[in-house]
Structure formats: structure tokens, C-alpha cells
Amino acid sequence: MKLIVTGGAGFIGSNFVFYQRKHHPEDDIICLDALTYAGNLETLEPVMNDPKFKFVKGDIADRKLVYDLFEAEKPDYIVNFAAESHVDRSIENPEVFLRTNVMGTQVLLDACRKYGIKRYHQVSTDEVYGDLPLDRPDLYFTETTPIHTSSPYSASKAAADLLVLAYHRTFKLPVTVSRCSNNYGPYHFPEKLIPLMISRALADESLPVYGTGENIRDWLYVEDHCAAIDLILRKGTDGEVYNIGGHNERTNLEVVKTILRQLDKPESLITYVRDRPGHDMRYAIDPTKIHNELGWLPATKFDDGIRQTVEWYLSNRPWWEHILAGEYQNYYERMYAGR
Ligand code: NAD
Ligand code: DAU
């Protein structure tokens, strides 16, 4: 079978490409990625010469490019990771979030209708449910929790989810949607909490904790997310939404202190800074549905996953140092010059 993985040069998309190569070596993968600031072709170096893998540089909102690709490749499955993904950037400039996350999704759905596919999978987020209060630890997001977004990022992801489900109901397009909690692991872009804190602590720089640091996130090791998407793609039911999360709730402060302990750096590096506007307090996923229906359970506990992640950043310094230096953005030119 042939899969198009959009956004495969980003954090979760690249981990998903590696997961597919490892668990389904018989399948062909085409990665469609615009290589925005968050896309890094250096990440995909291990598969670039693999005959079952092809990289296409392109924007999911470019209708002609997407239609040409579908016409040429006739894919069976589409997994859409491509998105603007950083909440702080959406507060600074919402427009590109609407273009990529909403219009880009629509173009992909239209291509699926026009050329026919076996399954379109939308990679979504628990942020579409808004947040939970800190004084109600008994509450969790289920698939029927109402959509109630806080940031332009989450609003754009919610709009995309609704569009995907509308294409199922109206046009009978075979779709699935997954809503996952915060991921962490290798190849996480160093603007997000965990890799930002690791890279700054290693340089003995201050660690900017928003507000009081009491906000809670429900952390999932990225490979567990990839395994869940793989199951949904191959065994999920058309038109269904699946929540993905592993009951690993931590306050931001706990996460930062864990990283400091592991790196043997002092807590005095922590600096409390102005809070994120509209900052969600707590995310917590109830994964009962995907467990009961598809048998998914996370394999990695937070304490093990965070240790492996810190070790990965220590042993792969060139990867994130190139990002911080901006060098990774020249990689495409170097790799493709004259091709
Ligand atoms: P990321 O920012 O690391 O990667 C996004 C990728 O999409 C990049 O490679 C980028 O170049 C590409 N891209 C952006 N705009 C594009 C466009 N117009 N056309 C083609 N490619 C484009 O993001 P991530 O953290 O890997 O998240 C991937 C997906 O998972 C997103 O849809 C996000 O909403 C969702 N998600 C993320 C998390 C998380 O914790 N990171 C949790 C739940 C869901
Ligand atoms: O829940 C899933 C979502 O998780 C995904 O949909 C998003 O794409 C992904 O970016 C992530 O969103 P968050 O806003 O939760 O992640 P971020 O790493 O930006 O922040 C995690 C928490 O840490 C959040 O409460 C804000 C806080 N924070 C973040 C940064 C970057 C800080 O305190 N300081 C920081 O410098």
C-alpha cells in the first residue's frame, strides 16, 4: 500500500515515518512537506535513500501541486500531520494557521474525493477541547467533550476536525480523526517546552516558565502516539474520533525540575515570565475508547521517556544546534542542488 504522510519533516511526522519503515517495510511512503521553519530535512536523512521512501517539497494548501501528486501517485492512505503547531506563534500571527491548518486540510480532503482513497487520517489535538480546571482532577477529555478552543492554533485545529467530519457525513469520505495530548521525544523542535528547557539548561541560560508553572500537561512519548495512529489508520472505524493519551499528567514546573535534575543543573535557572495569554490550565485525556476498541496502550512511562529524551538531546547535539544556528534551513538546497 502507498501512504502520503504530510508534515513528515516535523517532529511527530518524522517519528511516524520511522515507525512505518520499521513496522511496515513493505509499504511505500511519500512525505509531502513545505519545509517551513519547523520542517527539517536533516531529520529524514536516515530514509532519504530508501527506495520505498520519497520526499516531495510542497504546500498542502497548493491545490494544483496536491492534485498533481495524487494523480501521479494514486495513494491509498493519507495521514495529515502538516500544520502550524506552536500556540505562541498563533497568538503572534494567526493567519498562516488558518491557511495551513484549515485551507490546507480542505485541499487534501478535496483531493481525496477527486482521486479516491481508502482512508484519510487527521492528526488533531486535545487542545480542541479547551482546558480543565486544576481543582477537578476527576475530569478528563472524552471524545464527546464539547469543542471549546482557547488559542488561534486550537481554533484552527478544531475547524479542520469539523471539516474532516463534515466530508465524512456529506460526501461519505472514509476518514478518522485522532486527538492526542502533548508529545515529547526525539526531533522535537526546540521552541516547545521540553527541548527548549533542555537546550537552554545545557547552555546555563535562564528557563522561562510562564506564569506560576502550575499548568498541567498530559505527556505522551512520541512513539506511543505513532503506534496509536498506525492502529487507527489500519483498524479504526470510518467517521470516528479517537483520543490518545497515557495518564501522565505533570505540572510544567515538575517537568522543568525533572530536566534540571537529570542534567545536574541548579533550579536557580528557573525564571518566571509573563504568562501566555489565554493559557490553558490543564489537559487530561481519557483514552478508554482507543484502548477498548483497538487495544492500544502506551508502552513508555514518563520517567523512562523523559530520561531517554534528555539522553537523545545530549547525544544528538548537532541536530538541535543546527536548528538554533539556522543552518538546517540550507539543507534542502545542499541536498537537492543539481538534482
Ligand atoms: P511540527 O511543527 O514539528 O511539524 C509540522 C510540519 O508540518 C513541519 O515539517 C512543517 O514544515 C510542515 N508544514 C507546515 N505547514 C505546511 C504546509 N502548508 N504544507 C506542508 N507542510 C507543512 O509539528 P508536530 O509537533 O510534529 O505536530 C504534527 C501534528 O500533530 C500537527 O497537526 C499538530 O497539530 C498535531 N499534534 C501535535 C502535538 C504535539 O505535542 N506536538 C500533540 C497533538 C497533536
Ligand atoms: O496538547 C497538545 C498540544 O501540545 C499540541 O497540539 C501543540 O501542537 C503542542 O505545541 C503542545 O502545545 P502546548 O502549548 O501545550 O506546548 P508548549 O510546549 O508550547 O507548552 C507546554 C506548556 O509549557 C504550556 O503550559 C506553556 C508552557 N511553557 C512553554 C514554553 C515554550 C512555558 O512555561 N515556557 C515556555 O518557554
Give 192 Cα–ligand 2 centroid separation in angstroms: 6
CB atoms within 10 A of CB 125: 23
Ligand found nearest the CA of 83 = 1
User: What string of pLDDT tens digits covers the 339 residues of the chain?
Assistant: 999 999 999 999 999 999 999 999 999 999 999 999 999 999 999 999 999 999 999 999 999 999 999 999 999 999 999 999 999 999 999 999 999 999 999 999 999 999 999 999 999 999 999 999 999 999 999 999 999 999 999 999 999 999 999 999 999 999 999 999 999 999 999 999 999 999 999 999 999 999 999 999 999 999 999 999 999 999 999 999 999 999 999 999 999 999 999 999 999 999 999 999 999 999 999 999 999 999 999 999 999 999 999 999 999 999 999 999 988 878 677 766 766
CB atoms within 10 A of CB 275: 13
Give 193 Cα–ligand 2 centroid separation in angstroms: 6
41/201 Cα distance (integer angstroms): 26
Atom of ligand 2 lying closest to residue 256 CA: 33
Examine the residue annotation and report whether 280 is marked as an active-site residue of this protein.
Answer: no
325/183 Cα distance (integer angstroms): 24
Q: Which of 84, 126, 131, 161 is catalytic?
A: 126
* Ligand 2 pocket mutation pick from 80, 87, 250, 271 by most atoms within 8 angstroms of CB: 87
Atom of ligand 1 lying closest to residue 12 CA: 26
Examine the residue annotation and report whether 135 is marked as an active-site residue of this protein.
Answer: no
Helix (H, G, I), strand (E, B) or coil at 289: helix
Give 83 Cα–ligand 1 centroid separation in angstroms: 4
pTM (two decimals): 0.98
Work out the burial of residue 143: count CB atoms within 10 Å of its CB; fewer than 13 is exposed, 13-18 middle, 19 or more buried: middle
Examine the residue annotation and report whether 126 is marked as an active-site residue of this protein.
Answer: yes
